[in-house]
Chains A and B, each alone.
Chain A
Amino acid sequence: MEAVHHHWMEETFLLAEEALKLGEVPVGCAFVYKDQIIATGKNEVNETKNACRHAEIVAIDKVLNWCDERGDKSEDVFRESALYVTVEPCIMCAGALRQIGVSLVVYGCKNDRFGGCGSIISVHQAELPTLGQSFHCIGGVMTDRAVQLLKDFYKGENPNCPESKRKIKSE
């Protein structure tokens, strides 16, 4: 099982590295459905000027399009999908993931600032019936690599730079 997780996580790290190169917070993710990746996402907060454009939201949009093109019902696809993501989803994304009805989320490192799957609050398991079913989480897969990427990002921030020029810490 562990090996399977590593396989998919490898893919998400490529996306996170891409985000880092673009000056975005390095987070990447992938939806795996029937043993194949059907959508990926990386943080696009600066690009869209929308602080909510997290990797998970990007990937959710792509799954919806994918379902649309194939004429599949997205609820069915999400239910049978797993999300792999380099960092624990934030509270917003955890709320989004419940509403689309994903059943499993596998992540790398904890999200101390915004984590919605245990770190700040546990949206994934909370008693919030109108938000949809709770989902299962497996954390700590390839943690070190995820942490290193975030460290690289924050190291790149020059603390002497004026606030407005500094990168956005949004995931």
Chain B
Amino acid sequence: MLNGTNMLNNATDVHTNANNSSHKIIKGDLADKNESEPFLQPVLDDVYLRPVETVNVFVCTLKNKKDTAVVLRKFSEDFPLENLSHLKRIKSSKTKDAPLQIIVCSLEVADGEAFKNLDIGEESVLSKPYCVSVPRYPPLTRQQYLEAIQYWPVSFHEDKHIASLLSGNYFTKEETCRFKRHMMMAVEYAKHAKALSKEPIGAVIVDPSTDMVIAKSHDDRHGNHPLHHAVMICIDLMARSQGGGMWKFGKECDLYSVPCMQSSKGDNDSSLPYLCTGYDLFVTREPCVMCAMALVHSRIQRVFYGSSSKDGALGTKLKLHVQSGLNHRYQVFKGLLEKECDKLFENNSNQT
């Protein structure tokens, strides 16, 4: 297993990789859509976004097509492709009647006895093996598929859900309108915080099944408590609305205005503190790692944020919502009312 530091470094690396040329195609696509219509960008696991990585394998050229079946059978038995099973074994050439190329095995396997003892047969059947770069991983998105087949034919099973997320049409117009309304409320709270010289960040928790606002808050980390981030306060207000809660808030408490409510989940065991199960969070700025993990603990369903933060844990420095090893994952969308959210930080010295 990778240790924690490596995981972090990897996250950063991939982020850097995202700027390389092959990946710009995706980015450009999203940017175009962003300009024409408001587009909620899903923050997906890096496996869906990474450019195609390659690995070297040994390939032979098949001199006569009539030998294909025999060679294919022999190679499949002696050198199963195992973790390269997404690769098609044979690559045909674009020009008709040109020789076929066939994968023998990976370089690691080529160190073994089987390869050394390989009876390639007469020179007339196969060429000498040579190295070719092929895609290391199965393609998970159409973009990756199109990139992968530039190297070598691969099989591709499109994930409909991921494809829909990437299409830019995942949410209906009505849904997007609703989301904007909730984010607007978070922006209002952030403005209020700004007027009080607090960190201009606002948060709102909504039950999407009823469209009801459950809790709303703004940041207060520079007040009496350094952990009073908007998200942490919002989660605690949820707990308070159900008879719990860990923090007492000062007179600004009025502002948070939590409706006193019964559990709408039909779950009468109120001792379960997974209060955010099935709920959405709207927050003007990308949460830090503490808040992102607090949302894992609270079992939030989806998070929508406006602007990114320097050390943000939901896309910028980390993707904690899809972190392997954790027992809960949630969906994240960024860029909701991004301009309004960015504007909150204008003339603000604390750029978090």
Which residue numbers of A lie inside 8 Å of B, CB to CB?
44-53, 57-58, 60-61, 64, 68, 74, 90-96, 99-100, 113-123, 125-131, 164-165, 168, 170
- Could you tell me the distance in whole angstroms from the C-beta of B244 to the nearest C-beta in chain A? 3
Give A122's nearest chain B residue, CB to CB.
Answer: B4
Complex Cα gap A123–B245 (Å): 26
Q: Flag if A52 contacts B236 (CB, 8 Å).
A: yes
Cβ of B232 under 8 Å from chain A: yes
Cβ of B123 under 8 Å from chain A: no
Give B327's nearest chain A residue, CB to CB.
Answer: A113
Q: Flag if A126 contacts B290 (CB, 8 Å).
A: no
Residues on A with C-beta less than 8 A from B235 are 50-52
Give A115's nearest chain B residue, CB to CB.
Answer: B4
Residues on A with C-beta less than 8 A from B23 are none
Residues on B with C-beta less than 8 A from A52 are 232, 235-236, 246, 294, 297-298
Complex Cα gap A51–B244 (Å): 11
B1-51 contacts to A (CB < 8 Å): 3-5, 7-8, 12
Q: Flag if A50 contacts B245 (CB, 8 Å).
A: yes
Q: Flag if A127 contacts B8 (CB, 8 Å).
A: yes
Complex Cα gap A106–B333 (Å): 37
Q: Flag if A130 contacts B8 (CB, 8 Å).
A: no
Residues on A with C-beta less than 8 A from B311 are 128-131
Residues on B with C-beta less than 8 A from A95 are 288-291, 293
User: Which of A49, A100, A120, A126 touches B244 (beta carbons < 8 Å)?
Assistant: A49
Contact pattern, B 244-287, Cβ under 8 Å of A = 1, otherwise 0: 11110000000000000000000101111111000000000000
Q: Flag if A121 contacts B273 (CB, 8 Å).
A: no
Cβ of B127 under 8 Å from chain A: no
Cβ of B325 under 8 Å from chain A: yes
Residues on A with C-beta less than 8 A from B89 are none
Interface-lining segment among B79-87, B187-195, B223-231:
B223-231
A–B complex contacts, Cβ < 8 Å, 27 sampled: A45-B273, A48-B239, A48-B244, A49-B242, A49-B244, A50-B238, A50-B273, A51-B235, A51-B274, A51-B297, A52-B246, A53-B246, A95-B289, A96-B290, A100-B226, A113-B326, A113-B327, A114-B293, A114-B326, A122-B5, A123-B289, A126-B5, A128-B317, A129-B310, A130-B310, A130-B311, A131-B288
Cβ of B68 under 8 Å from chain A: no
Interface size on B, residues (CB 8 A): 52
User: Which of A44, A50, A130 touches B236 (beta carbons < 8 Å)?
Assistant: A50
Report whether over half of chain B's contact residues are helix, strand or loop; otherwise say mixed. loop
Complex Cα gap A92–B327 (Å): 14
Which residue numbers of B lie inside 8 Å of A, CB to CB?
3-5, 7-8, 12, 221, 224-227, 232, 235-236, 238-239, 242-247, 267, 269-275, 288-291, 293-294, 296-299, 309-311, 317-318, 320, 323, 325-327, 351-352
Q: Flag if B318 contacts A50 (CB, 8 Å).
A: no
Q: Flag if A120 contacts B326 (CB, 8 Å).
A: yes
Q: Flag if A48 contacts B293 (CB, 8 Å).
A: no
Q: Flag if B293 contacts A92 (CB, 8 Å).
A: yes
Complex Cα gap A26–B224 (Å): 29
Instruction: Taking A128-B317, A130-B310 as given, write out 15 further A-B residue pairs in contact, using a Cβ cutoff of 8 Å, ordered by the A residue number.
Output: A48-B245, A48-B273, A49-B244, A58-B246, A68-B224, A90-B297, A91-B290, A91-B293, A95-B293, A99-B288, A114-B297, A126-B5, A126-B8, A129-B310, A168-B273
Residues on B with C-beta less than 8 A from A46 are 271, 273
Q: Flag if A170 contacts B297 (CB, 8 Å).
A: yes
Residues on A with C-beta less than 8 A from B246 are 44, 48, 50, 52-53, 57-58, 61
Residues on A with C-beta less than 8 A from B290 are 91-93, 95-96, 99, 131
Give A116's nearest chain B residue, CB to CB.
Answer: B293
- Could you tell me the distance in whole angstroms from the C-beta of B59 to the nearest C-beta in chain A? 39
Residue among B12, B225, B290 having the largest count of chain A Cβ atoms under 10 Å: B290
Residues on A with C-beta less than 8 A from B3 are 118, 122
Q: Flag if B273 contacts A130 (CB, 8 Å).
A: no
Give B6's nearest chain A residue, CB to CB.
Answer: A122
Complex Cα gap A95–B289 (Å): 6
Give A53's nearest chain B residue, CB to CB.
Answer: B246
- Could you tell me the distance in whole angstroms from the C-beta of B334 to the nearest C-beta in chain A? 18
Complex Cα gap A45–B271 (Å): 9
Residue among B235, B247, B272 having the largest count of chain A Cβ atoms under 10 Å: B272
| 9 tightest A-B CB contacts, nearest first | A49-B244, A95-B290, A122-B4, A92-B293, A50-B239, A51-B297, A91-B293, A164-B269, A121-B4
Residue among B3, B221, B243 having the largest count of chain A Cβ atoms under 10 Å: B3
User: Which of B8, B224, B242 touches A122 (beta carbons < 8 Å)?
Assistant: B8
Complex Cα gap A40–B227 (Å): 17
Residues on B with C-beta less than 8 A from A113 are 325-327
Q: Flag if A165 contacts B244 (CB, 8 Å).
A: no
Residues on A with C-beta less than 8 A from B296 are 91-92, 114
